Amino acid sequence: KQIELNRIKQSIWYLRNLILNSPFSKYVDYEELPGSNIQTDEELEQFIREYVWSHHACCTAKMGNTRKDPLAVLNSKGQVKGIKNLRVCDISIFPKIPSYYPFMSVITACEKIADDIIKRAKY
């Protein structure tokens, strides 16, 4: 749908501008995708139509026993191993890809981690 295509284009332009015109720019050597050669709406739309597809990317920041599992980077409270005061709460925390639509699993995990944060803040 055109409305979805327009939203994707707006997001890419926004993120490109944010990164290039912020303190983050010193950490960016080059733009991997869509690439700095894409400069017009028409070029970006063509790139999106050719290369963008939808999926549920997940399992990139595994939750688990961070002492025993070398692949686990988060504990059961969503806390990042070795970093204070940083938590992750999204679909990346799952150790395995859910075999069904992941929406409710993500909401449940986020509610649990939010409860942990609230409990810790009270003490």
Catalytic residue numbers read 56
The C-alpha atoms of residue 67 and residue 47 are separated, in whole angstroms, by: 43
Q: Which residues pair with 80 in a beta bridge?
A: 74
